[in-house]
Amino acid sequence: MSTATAVKVHNYSAGPCILPREVFEQAAQAVLDFEGGGLSILEISHRSKPFEAVMAKAQSLVKELLGAPDHYQVVFLGGGASMGFHMVPQNYMKVGGKSAYANTGEWASRAIKESKLAGETVVVASSEDKNFSYIPKGFTIPADADYFHFTSNNTIFGTQYKQFPKSPVPVVCDMSSDIFSRPVNVADFALIYAGAQKNMGPAGATVYLFDPNHLGKTGRKLSPMMDLKNHADKESMYNTPPVFAVYVSMLTMEWMKRVGGVAAIEKRNTAKAELLYGAIDRLPVFKGTTAVEDRSHMNPTFVLADAKLEPTFDAMWKEAGISGIRGHRSVGGYRASMYNALPIESVQALVDVMEEFAKKNG
């Protein structure tokens, strides 16, 4: 077996994305020999004592890192956040009831589509009129809705709620791309859910953090696989959970704890965002694509003032070992995803390239 020297790549992938190097090392070791037991993490039963301990630890770390109230529960499922879009109305919309949604981008739109299949769905706010380049504010959520759903960070368009909407009804949030990036008051949410592959771990697991008191009230007959309460009652072991994705998520959460928890991580993320947006604003050859007050700290998006220069810029950042900053096809330009594990040195490397590009083409 060869141990290739790690090539220095500045990984700006939007998801699946960068995780801490030490997590990869621990995970690689566990694939070969999990906790010295002579077996791989990939070949032990999910009901074995060692894996039960992993699951319990992963669940408790979610609550600890986010400071969730004691009675909140954590479930890890497969299916991605996209399955969450379906599970939300199934578990929270009463038969004959209605839901309220804010439409701030592609993922929010997909969540709305699933709710419409389940029943009446009121879109209380939308930023579609300006290609989702801002976060709508000052909207009213009907007091007779069963729940209100929003997307805290819009991964594709690069916007992020800086203040969460006040709601008269239970709040459900898709936090896939900014969970653990900043402190939140979990008690304000009936449910927070997130696909692992943006800030928590590898693709394959989705975390659901919820107040169980809101469940079991819809009058709907649910398939056991779609029933959040069933999964909670069975401790995420109703069927085989995505064991490796849960394990690596646990390792990543342990790393988050080691580096000081979510408050410390928020400071790092703010510093990274200030560095990159600073360059976008200082250098006239770049333009941000979103409203300044709604700029995402996870997925900054920008374009060149002169799009004809894209090949020149592309050659420069590739040369500097930067990877994954091409924008989503629906926005164009660039998206520099800066999840928790991206070091500020990588942001500096990109800013250096931007400065050099501006000097040559300004």
**Residues annotated as catalytic (active site), given as ranges:** 107, 174, 198
Residues 152-191 that bind ligand PLP (CB under 6 A): 155, 174, 176-177
Measured CA to CA, the distance from residue 311 to residue 143 in angstroms comes to: 51
- Pairing outcome for strands 286-288 and 206-210: unpaired
Task: Please say which residue, 75 or 283, places its beta carbon nearer to ligand PLP.
Answer: 75
Q: Which of 10, 98, 149, 198 binds ligand PLP (CB under 6 A)?
A: 198
Question: Please, what sign has the CA dihedral across residues 128, 113, 78, 97?
Answer: positive
Distance between CA atoms of 327 and 334, rounded to whole angstroms?
A: 4
With binding defined as CB under 6 A, does residue 333 bind ligand PLP? no
CB 319 within 8 A of CB 175: no
Residues that bind ligand PLP (rule: CB under 6 A) add up to a total of 12
How far is it, in rounded angstroms, from Cα 190 to Cα 256?
24
Binding mask 27-66 for ligand PLP (x = CB under 6 A): ----------------------------------------
209 by Cβ neighbours in 10 Å (0-12 / 13-18 / 19+) ranks as buried
Query: Is 151 or 269 the residue whose CB approaches ligand PLP more closely?
Result: 151
Give residues 132-151 in contact with ligand PLP (rule: CB under 6 A): 151
Residue with the closest Cβ to ligand PLP? 80
Q: Which of 233, 225, 246, 237 is nearest to 91 (CA)?
A: 225
- Measured from the CB of residue 132, what is the shortest distance to ligand PLP in angstroms? 12
| Interface with ligand PLP (CB under 6 A), residue from 34, 76, 107, 208 | 107
- Site residues for ligand PLP per CB under 6 A: 15, 80-82, 107, 151, 155, 174, 176-177, 195, 198
